[in-house]
Each structure stands twice: as structure tokens, then as C-alpha cells.
A and B are shown apart, each in its own frame.
Chain A
Amino acid sequence: MQDEAQLVQQARHDPTAFGQLYDRYVDRIYAYVQRETGDTAVAQDIVSATFEKALQNLPRYEWRGVSFGAWLYKIARNEIRMQYRRQKWFAPLQDRFFSDAHVERAVQQQEEQDAVRQALKRLSARDQEILRLHFFEELSHAEISIVVNCSTRNVAVRLHRALKRLRRKLADSAPEVMCDVTSG
């Protein structure tokens, strides 16, 4: 971590150091954006914008003892939201996560998908995001607190509540799954 703090400090005047930060995080940020948007072309645009903004704002970046990656996630999340706002008029980008109709279709068409993923999609956008950041992106509570702009304690509470709701959703859908198994 200390090494990363030094690298960030160095990157303010040394492009090579910024290159090292880029190499360290580009794949993770790309995977995150791709998972959120489901579109590789959009993901490439968003990742480009993310690193450009990081480069431009690097002089103002304050090291807070949490990974530089958390800041990149935060910028990427913002870019995703902007993209969503640009496209949401009749073409909601995040339909895959938020639309009940889509979920229904997904349930019917993609039976092979895991029950956990389906239950996750039935949670609120807020719950989905906190669970995805922790379990898919493997961010710590401190990192998530930077990304979603709330306290670490609040992250822990929100995660616990989201898990509780996910557990309930899974319990609700359990008979359905059993039906599928027996009929299949």
C-alpha cells in the first residue's frame, strides 16, 4: 500500500509511474465496467474516459490510505452513470439489472443461470451495487466507502442488509427452483 502511495506521488510528475498504475488497474476497471454495462464498446469508451480523468485530476488526488483503485472505481462508476443518463431515454442501459420484465424473460430464456444471480437481479439497484462491488469486484469496505461516498460503517450495514434481503429472495424462489429440477 505504501508502495502505491509513492507510485501515485511519483505519477504526478512522471508519466512512467502513471503507466504502472494503469497497468495495475486497467484490467480490473475494464472487467467492472463490462459487468456493469454488458457492452464491450461502451466499456472501452468508459475505461478510456476514466483513466483520462484520473490523469487530469491526479494533482488534486489525496491519498487516504485506501487503494488508488478505489478512486478509479469511483470515477468509472460516475462515467457509467453519465452513460446511463445519456442513454436511458427509452433505452435503459441497466435494464439487465433493474427491469422486472427483463428478469422475467431472463428467467424463462436462460434457465442455466444461477439462482443467486437471478435473486440478485431482483434486489434494488442500491443493494445490487453494494453486493457486486464487494463480491464481484472484491473491494474492501474502505474501498467501497470511497466509491459510493459513504462511511465504512455504513457500507458494512448496507452490505449486511443487502445480504439479508438476498437470502430472503433466494428462500422465496427456492420452490420454483425445485420445480424446475424435478420437471427437468
Chain B
Amino acid sequence: MSRQDEYKDLEERLRQARPSTEPSPPAWKNNLRAQLMEKAVAMNQEKITPGRILAAAGAFIILIGIPLLFWFIQGSMNQSQPLSSGAAAEAVATALPATTQEKTAVPGALIPENTVTPVPLADDAWIVSVEPPPGAPLTPQSILTFTVGYDLQSVAAAQLQVKLVTGENEGIGVGTGETAVSQGQRTAVIPVPLADMEILADGDEVSAQLLLVNPGAERLLYLDMPGEMRWPVQTTSATAAIVRVGPPAPFQPPGDTPTDKPIFQIDITAAYTLTGSAEAILVINAAQDVAGGVAVTSATTPIREGSDLVTTTLTLPADAFATDGTLLPAVTLSAQVNQYNAETGQYTNLYPGDAELPQGEAAGPPPESPDIVRIGAIMLDENSLNVSLDYHLESAPTATLTLEDAAATAVAEPLTVAAGDDNLTLPITANTLQAGMPLTITAVLDSGAAQTTDSRTLRLNDFQSDGAEDLWIAHIDVITGTAVPADMALLQVTVGYRLGQEFSAGAIRYSVRHQTGNAGGGGGGGGEQLSPGLGIITFPIYLPQSALTGEYDGTVALQFELTGTAVAGQNADSQVLSTLTPDLSQLLPES
């Protein structure tokens, strides 16, 4: 079967796989139709028509014109009769407004229904400043901070809201922030995270709406749509930062390549986040001042969309290191993320955004081989640590999968794996894990054409719960600063679990929700499959720092859930065994 036929066949199978649905209940459908028709009629009646304009003009004549005419005639009559004294004239003058007021209520005049004299609202709100300013590109991690001036007069308290909108007629909300305000003229600072990036594409524009809402009556007091303030959307973004530098290990180039000085390799672990692009290249640069300029050595690693830690091996001459094995201060390490555009054959620097692109091989290979390896659960039994690995191999028919420690020494028998997706478990000797000593395990998938890695650091006491729990927090690493997007924190939450042998399989799922004062929030979740036994799993979770510090009354709720699946006959029954809600409120000090 040709490739084209295969696709046609697949498309046909997809059409046939369409899930059937129940027809809509006729009563509900008719009822909804009737309601919509009623609303449509009402909306049409509210429109301004020539008849309505005539009716309004008639009402104006009756209510205002006739009393004015009457007052004018009476005034003329009074003027034609000279006042006999100054006191009498004063009495008439002061009486005039009262007379006018009385005569607005014309006896017998018909006041049409729905004639409401509009009362101008005194409430007002305006944008004083906003960061980032209009025109600056917004990325999935963007939080816009609005400083809003407001003048609230009509009610004692209200909600001041800023909405980010996009799309046709700006009808799609992509972020909201709000704060409670009280009567008076003041300013408020409202952070608004860009919340719904899934519906945004590169080139879309986001604008802001400003609202004052009376929360009790759910009534809109003020609305402004300053359409001139627009921000373009850049859905592809990345951040990267070096979080760990390993010790140097001597390196002998393959073959008989002569070297004028000893060469060492160091493992550099970087935390990255990549959004809006399936793949990109992480480049680690080591810049060293040398006579006549700066020598830059680079190493590259393909990365996939999401956030994770990756370890890259950098090869440097011995004179880059001090005698104690640390890098000399003159050697500066930096991380950058580049995206390769297959259509143009060009690289774009995604992070830090203005980095000079390395040329040639140093730019990294085009990400045509998006291999991936990921460490899942790490299980401990009496004799060994069993490391669960998922991999995706595309760049070559086979690759070597190895597990190494921090000194790049293999701690398990290397495996040859075939192209495709698979998961497997590699045992390593448990005595590599000593009490009190952290152990870094790096999985390396090397196809010859590409190399990709994933690392985890664990400790023996990660596997010990304080009590008899099935689920516990082993440790949490908080990564902030340049390693993660501005104002965000990356939590590497390592969860320990114990799943009894009566279950054939299990899973840990987590849900996270954060709220920053009244300025909105967000949430998410994920999960991991696991096998029975004692183990740990690390989950990367991104949160706004303000949610962790309690700034703006921020809160964060995180919950893990352990489920076990027991198979009885033909049926599989899953049940929730344990839930865990760690307190994250004190992870970061309040700034």
C-alpha cells in the first residue's frame, strides 16, 4: 500500500471512529428556540427605529416643551405688570424655580413606558501605566502589570477588573485580573497573567478592557476598551539556565588525535522551558578570555516542548580549570535556546532573545532527530535501584541507552534500543546510593547522530516516609532566578510512594491551582504511571513566585493522588489509595 493510500485509509478509519452522540431532546431544543426567539424580539424592540424616535420626541414635548412654554408665557405676563415694590419682585424671582418644578408634572400627561432619563455615571477608570508596554511581545509566561487609576462615586465598593481579550470583535478572553476597590479616587496595581495561550497563535494581538463592576448587583458601572493598547503574541518562547556544573573528567579524543594540552569534559545541567515549539536546540557556551579575543566552546542538546532538566557535556582544555577542578573565573558559562526553521534553514535565538547565533556545527544540528529520554519512577528494592525510562528514538534505527552517575561512569549495563517509543526499567546496584549522599543519575540516549539526556538527583532518605504513608514528599527543589521565566518558580517535587503487590499497576496524578490575590490564577496537572513497590517520581511544576510568597495574598494548592489498579478476571478496577496536599506557602520568603 502506498503512503498516500495509507493516509486515505487512515482518514477513512478516523471518520468511522467518530463517537456517536445522543440526539438533543426535542423538548429542550424547542424550549431553547422559544427563549432565543423571545430574546431576539426583545432586542429588536430595544433598537432605535423611526417610530421610537417620534415617540421619544413626543415625550420630550410633553415633559419639557409644554412646561417651558407655560413658564415663558407666565413670565411674559408678569413682566407686563410692573412690580409695585422691590420685595414683591424678590418674592417672584425666588419663586420661579419652584413654579417651574411644579409644572413639570403635567396633570394627565402620559409618560411612555421604558422612558428613562439617563443618569450620567460619575465612575471612571483609566490605565496609568502597564508593564510590559503595548507593542512588546507577550509570551506564554507573560504577566502584564497594570497600574489603573479609578474614580468610584456611584457605589461604596466595586471590583476593578482588567481583561485581556483577543479575536474577532475582541470577544475571546485570555486573562483576567481584578481587585476590590472602595469609593474615592485612587490607583490600583493589577497583575494579569496571560492565561489561555492555547487559543493564541503567533501574530495574534491582545488588547485590554477596563471594567468597574458592582459585585452585589453584578452591574457594570464602567467599561473602557482602549483598543489602541495592543500587544503582539509570540507563542514560541524559551528560557534556560545552568543549575549544576559537574566535576571535570579527563577525556581522550578518539583515535590518535594529538592534543597539545590535556582535555577534560564537564557535565552541565540546565533547566529549560520551551513553549510553542515542538523542539529546539539548547546551547551551552563556555567563553574564555584569551590573547586576542574570546574563545567560545559550545555544546548542544536537542530539547522538546515543556520544561525539564537536561545535561550536556562540554569539552574544555585543562587551562580552563583551577587546580581544585573548578572552572576559572575567566570562564563564563551561559545557556541559550535556538530554534531551527526548516523552511528557511535559519536559526532564531529564542533565549535570551538577543544572543549571537553560533555558526556552523556550534549552532547545533537541525532538530531533525527529536530523540527524547526521560527518567520516570525510580524504585528501590532490597538489592537494586530500578530506574524506569521512557524514550523516543527517531534519529537512527538503534541507539545506546546508558545510565551514568555524576562522574559519567556507567552504573548499569548499556542497552541497545530500537527506533520508536518504548519504556523499560534498568536496574543499578543499590550500594551506589549511600546514606546522606545525593546521587545524580543521568540517562543518556546516544544514536551517533544525536545525544539526549535526562537527570535526577536522589537521596536514600527520599524512600523513607515519616509514618506509614503510601505517598509522601521526598524533597522539593525550588528553582528561581534566571533558570525560569521572570516572576516564576520551578518546583521539582519528588514524591515517594508505596504501592502494594495486590495491585497490577498504579499512577500518581497531581493537580495544582494558584491564586494571586484577586488578580486571577491558574492551574494544571499531570501524572505518571508506576508499578507496585517502593519508589520516587519527580514532577516539574511551574508557579508564579508571588503565589508562593503570599505576596498579594497569593495562595497555591497542590494535591497528589495515588491510585492502584487491581485486575480481577476480565475487569480492571482503579481506586484512589491516598492523597497528599503539601503546604507550599513557606517555600519562598516574602520579598
Q: Which of B13-21, B211-219, B266-274, B434-442 contacts A (4 or more CB under 8 A)?
A: B13-21
The answer to whether A52 and B36 touch across the interface, beta carbons within 8 angstroms, is yes
Q: Which of A104-151 contact B (CB under 8 A)?
A: 104-105, 108-109, 114, 116-117, 120, 125-126, 131, 135-136, 148-150
Q: How far is the CB of B373 from chain A (nearest CB, A)?
A: 17
Main secondary structure of the interface of A (DSSP, over half): helix
User: Is residue A68 within 8 Å, beta carbon to beta carbon, of the partner chain?
Assistant: no
Taking CB atoms, residues of chain B closer than 8 Å to A126 are 198
Q: B168 at interface (Cβ–Cβ under 8 A)?
A: yes
Q: Which residues of A contact B563 (CB under 8 A)?
A: 101
Residue contacts A-B, CB under 8 angstroms, 21 given? A13-B44, A15-B41, A18-B37, A19-B40, A22-B36, A44-B24, A47-B32, A61-B169, A88-B511, A89-B513, A99-B527, A101-B507, A101-B509, A114-B17, A116-B16, A136-B18, A149-B166, A149-B199, A149-B201, A150-B201, A167-B10
B169 proximity list for chain A (CB < 8 A): 57, 60-61
Asked if B168 and A62 make an inter-chain contact with CB atoms under 8 angstroms apart, the answer reads yes
Residue of B nearest to A108 (CB): B572
Q: Is the CB of A55 within 8 A of B36?
A: yes
Cα A100 to Cα B506 in complex, Å, equals 11
Among A26, A101, A136: residue with most chain B CB under 10 A = A101
User: Binary interface profile of A, 19-62, with partner B (CB < 8 Å = 1, else 0)?
Assistant: 10011001100110011000010001001100110011100111
Contact A149 B33 (CB under 8 A): no
A71 to B57: give the CA distance in the assembly, Å: 39
Contact partner of A35 (CB less than 8 A), chosen from B19, B44, B565, B574, is B19
Contacts of A90 in B (CB 8 A): 511, 559
Chain A nearest CB from B583 CB (Å) reads 17
Chain A CB within 8 A of B421 CB: yes
Does B360 make an interface contact (CB < 8 A)?
A: no
How far is the CB of B564 from the nearest CB of chain A, in Å?
Answer: 11
Q: Chain A: which residue is nearest B511 at the CB level?
A: A90
A55-91 residues with Cβ-Cβ distance < 8 A to B are 55-57, 60-62, 71, 74, 78, 81, 88-90
CB of B172 within 8 Å of the partner chain: yes
A126 (CB) vs chain B CBs: closest residue: B198
Q: How far is it, in angstroms, between the C-alpha of A51 and the C-alpha of B21 when the chains are bound? A: 20
**CA A78 – CA B199 in complex, angstroms?**
9
Is there an interface contact between A51 and B32, defined as CB atoms closer than 8 Å? Answer: yes
A6, CB-defined interface residue at 8 Å: no
A135 engages B22 (CB within 8 Å):
no
CB distance from B194 to the nearest CB of A (A): 14
Q: Which residues of A sit under 8 angstroms from B11, Cβ to Cβ?
A: 135, 163
A66–B586 alpha-carbon span in the complex (Å)? 53
A109 CB to closest chain B CB (Å) equals 6
Cα-based distance from A149 to B202 in the complex (angstroms): 10
Cβ contact of A131, chosen from B14, B23, B171, B505, cutoff 8 A: B14
Chain B 415-441 per-residue mask, 1 if CB under 8 angstroms from chain A, else 0: 000001100000000000000000000
B200 sits at the interface (CB 8 A): yes
With contacts A55-B40, A62-B168, A105-B574 taken as known, whether A26 is within 8 angstroms of B29 at the C-beta atoms is yes
Q: Once the chains bind, are B172 and A167 in contact (CB under 8 Å)? A: no
Q: How many A-B residue pairs have CB under 8 A?
A: 139
- Taking CB atoms, residues of chain B closer than 8 Å to A93 are none
B39 within 8 Å of A (CB atoms): yes
Interface residue from A15, A57, A81, A109 paired with B571 (Cβ < 8 Å): A109
Question: A36 to chain B: closest CB distance in Å?
Answer: 10
Q: A13-B44, A90-B559, A104-B529 are in contact. Are A31 and B36 (CB under 8 A)?
A: no
Closest to B422 in A: A172
Contact B505 A104 (CB under 8 A): yes
Q: Is A166 part of the contact surface with B, judged by Cβ < 8 Å?
A: yes
Task: Count how many chain A residues have C-beta atoms less than 8 Å from C-beta atoms of the other chain.
Answer: 58
Which residues on the B side are within 8 Å of A78 (C-beta)? 172, 199
Residues of B near A56 (CB, < 8 A) are 43
CB within 8 Å of A: which B23-39 residues? 23-25, 28-29, 32-33, 35-37, 39
Query: Can you add 15 more A-B contacts, CB < 8 Å, to A35-B19, A55-B43, A114-B17?
Result: A15-B40, A18-B37, A23-B33, A30-B29, A74-B168, A88-B511, A90-B511, A100-B527, A101-B529, A105-B565, A135-B14, A149-B201, A149-B204, A163-B7, A172-B421
B167: CB under 8 A from chain A?
Answer: yes
The answer for the CA separation of A154 and B276 in the assembled complex, in Å, is: 14
Of B18, B40, B44, which contacts A135 at CB under 8 A?
Answer: B18
Q: Is the CB of B7 within 8 A of A167?
A: yes
Residues of A within 8 A of B171 (CB): 57, 60
Instruction: Check B523 against A89 for contact (C-beta < 8 Å).
Output: yes
* Contact assessment for A51 and B36 in the assembled complex, using a CB-CB cutoff below 8 Å: yes
* CB of A170 closer than 8 Å to a CB of B: yes
Q: Is B196 an interface residue (CB 8 A)?
A: yes
Interface string of B510-529 (1 = CB under 8 A from A): 01010000000001010101
Report how far A18 CA is from B39 CA in the complex, Å.
Answer: 11
| Cβ–Cβ < 8 Å partners of A170 in chain B | 10
Chain B residues whose C-beta falls within 8 Å of the C-beta of A163 in the assembled complex: 7, 10-11
Residues from chain A with Cβ under 8 Å of B25 in the complex:
44
From known contacts A15-B44, A47-B32, A116-B14, infer whether A81 and B199 are also in contact, taking CB-CB under 8 Å: yes
> Do B10 and A88 have beta carbons less than 8 Å apart?
no
Q: Check B32 against A101 for contact (C-beta < 8 Å).
A: no
Tell whether, in the assembled complex, residue B199 and residue A116 are in contact, meaning their CB atoms are under 8 Å apart: no
User: Pick the contact of B10 from A27, A44, A89, A166 — CB < 8 Å?
Assistant: A166
User: CA A78 – CA B578 in complex, angstroms?
Assistant: 34
The 8 closest A-B pairs by CB, nearest first: A15-B40, A108-B572, A116-B17, A135-B14, A30-B24, A101-B507, A136-B18, A34-B21
**Alpha-carbon distance between A82 and B192 when the two chains are bound, in angstroms:** 17
Nearest residue in A to B29 (C-beta to C-beta)?
Answer: A26
Contacts of A101 in B (CB 8 A): 507, 509, 527, 529, 563, 574
Residues from chain A with Cβ under 8 Å of B198 in the complex: 81, 125-126
